[in-house]
Structure 1
Amino acid sequence: MKKWRWSWLSLIVFGIAISPALAVEAVDQTGETTTKFELTPNTGAVSLVNPDNPQTIAATDDLPINNSLVPSASGLTLAYITSTLDFGQQTVSIVDDNHYSPSLPQSALWHDKFVIEIADGRGTQVGWQLNISGAPFQTTNSDENGNHLIANNVTLSIPAGIVKSSSEKSASISSKNVEVPLDGTSTSKPLLTAPKGTGMGMTTVQIDPNQIKLNIPANSVKPGAYQTGLNWTLAAVPQN
């Protein structure tokens, strides 16, 4: 009898299939890495920025003379404001009301403007509001009776300024024309408002000093050298 020699080739030829071990289906493996961070309000020292470009720190030789405002512990800071408004020597008006523009040396201005800078490092995005009020003008020297003359019915008109911000949402920050009664009793007036969701980072306002007006009614103020203070309040949230 003839012996057959089987091989894999002969098995294939005759159509006999021998199955290999079944393959195990691949299963995706997953894992997780916990990733986290924490932000705290920025309450450190504030570097003044270029009023024309709040995204850049002001160069040392471009800084104004008076820049000593102290940062707020909350992270919302009135970082800079022009410190002097001098309307110079004027003459008593007999008939017409007077509207004087300030006579300021270059050293009192920054980029030839009355400048305000506000820093918001709180990270809360709740907005803020800058308000202004003023006390009555009084003579710097007292009379023979020890009294100071008071200038009544005097107001200060401040125009809206040019607002720029390091944030892309500066268009929503509004600067308003305000007339401030310098009587010490009126409520403060909002000059600048950053609505909710705006005002983060650095905001600058530049006001043309020639458009600021001191308004004195005719024959209402006696001769003398007068002085007062403008009071600025930076509210932590916008007010209605």
Structure 2
Amino acid sequence: MNKRVSSLMLAGALVLGSVLPVVANADAVTTTSGETKSSVTFEAPENVTKPVDPDNPGTPVTDPSDGGGATVDPTGPLSFLYVSPTIDFGSQKALSTGPQTIDNKLTTQIQVKDQTFGGTANPNLVTEVTDTRGTNAGWTVQVSSSPLKLAAGDVLKGATINLGATDTTKNKISNSGDATGISGSDVALGTEAGTAATIYAAAKDAGAGQTAFQLSPDNISMTGIDANAKAGTYTGTLTWTLNDTPAE
């Protein structure tokens, strides 16, 4: 009995002895740390001053005649590159009962005219924005309508121009980089007043580079036209305003 106990105790001592040097080596390791500072600098990109292909905003339109006579003059790091010059709601017969609606559901009545990019006609209401500020601060685009008037001064009363910018199936928002954070809003513009409404916006950290908005005529309409509207051609202006404030 005593021999067995002694043997077990000795074996235990031998095992313990074999472990001790390993523990001693681990205790000898020290932990140290150091720091290396890193940096990189990005400069704001060059200003873009020509209209771009709305289907590929990273590609400028090289032919000066393309773009159909943009009504903007890009001069700074945040500016319009292009705005469609004309939109025509067509010729309609005034109804004796109202209100009347003009849209593209039955026939192609609403047209954006004289507009080509890369030699190809584009039927959409196009707005292009360039943002080379290098701040990623975001921006908003507002639109308003002047009163639609006859040459004699009569105003088209009660009507509304509807621009449906939220439809992503027929409209198109493209960016030279990433279109995430850029969105459209539906707006209704009275033909008697000039109140502005936000139609497109880029949130903070979005909207850098060149952005093209293509609003399909199928998402444009004029509603609430009074019965027995006076005969003649009513003309007005859609005014687009680019602001350096991001979408909320």
What TM-score do you get using the length of structure 1 for normalisation?
0.73
Letter in 2 for 1:104: Q
* Cα distance change of structure 1 residues 85 and 178 upon mapping to structure 2, 3 Å threshold: same
In structure 2, the gaps of 5 or more residues are: 1-35, 104-108, 166-170
Asked if the contact 2:86–2:113 (Cα under 8 Å) also holds between the matched residues in 1, the reply is no
Residues in 2 aligned to 1:104 and 1:183: alpha-carbon distance in whole angstroms: 22
- Which residue among 181, 184, 191 is the counterpart of 1:182? 191
- Whether the 8 Å contact between 1:159 and 1:178 is mirrored in structure 2 is yes
1:77-110: per-residue Cα shift (whole Å, max 9, x none)?
A: 1110111011122111122422213443652465
Among 162, 173, 176, the alignment partner of 2:182 is 173
Matches within 5 A, 1:128-139: 128-139=139-150
Q: Does the C-alpha gap of structure 1 residues 89 and 48 become closer, same or farther in structure 2, counting only changes over 3 Å?
A: same
1:237, distance to aligned residue in structure 2 (A): 1.1
Distance 2:44 2:208 in 1: 14
Q: Which residue, out of 145, 158, 164, partners 1:153? A: 158
The number of residues matched between the two structures is: 198
- The 1-side partners of 2:192 and 2:43 are apart by 44
Counterpart residue type for residue 179 of structure 1:
A
Report the more deviating stretch, 46-55 or 188-197. 46-55
Structure 1 residue ranges without an equivalent (≥5): 1-31, 143-147
Say whether the 8 Å CA contact 1:151–1:220 is kept in structure 2.
no
| Residue 3 (structure 1) aligns with | none
Aligned to 2:173: 163
Which residue does 1:89 correspond to in 2?
Answer: 91
Greater shift, 191-200 or 213-222, is seen at 213-222
In the TM superposition, what are the counterparts of 1:19-38 in structure 2 within 5 Å? none
Partner of 2:102: 100
Computed over aligned residues only, the root mean square deviation of the Cα atoms, in angstroms, reads 2.7
Cross-structure match for 2:236: 228
Runs of 4 or more, structure 1, over 6 Å off, are none
Paired with 1:181 and 1:239, the residues of 2 have a C-alpha distance of 23
Write the deviation string for residues 135-189 of structure 1: whole angstroms up to 9, x where unpaired.
211112x2xxxxx111111110111231110122x13211122111222253x11
Give me the whole-angstrom Cα distance separating, in 1, the residues matched to 2:207 and 2:45: 14
Contact 1:80-1:117 within 8 A present in 2 as well: yes
Report how far residue 50 of structure 1 moved.
1.5
Secondary structure class of the residue paired with 1:210: helix
Contact 2:67-2:82 at 8 Å conserved across structures: no
Corresponding letter in the other structure for 1:152: K
Query: 1:162, 1:175 within 8 Å by CA — same for their partners in 2?
Result: no
**1:119 matched residue in structure 2:** 130
| Deviation at residue 36 of structure 1 after TM alignment | 7.9
TM-score scaled by structure 2? 0.70
Flag the structure with larger Rg: 1
Q: CA deviation at 1:72?
A: 3.4
Note if contact 2:131-2:209 (Cα within 8 Å) is conserved in structure 1.
yes
Secondary structure of 1:227 counterpart: coil
**Residues 160, 189 of structure 2: 8 Å contact kept:** yes
Inter-CA distance 71–134: structure 2 relative to 1 (3 Å threshold)? same
- Take 1:77 and 1:61, find their aligned partners in 2: how far apart are those partners? 19
**Cα separation, 1, equivalents of 2:148 and 2:115:** 20
When structure 1 is superposed on structure 2, of 81-90 and 52-61 the one drifting more is: 52-61
Contact 1:126 1:197 in 2 (8 A): yes
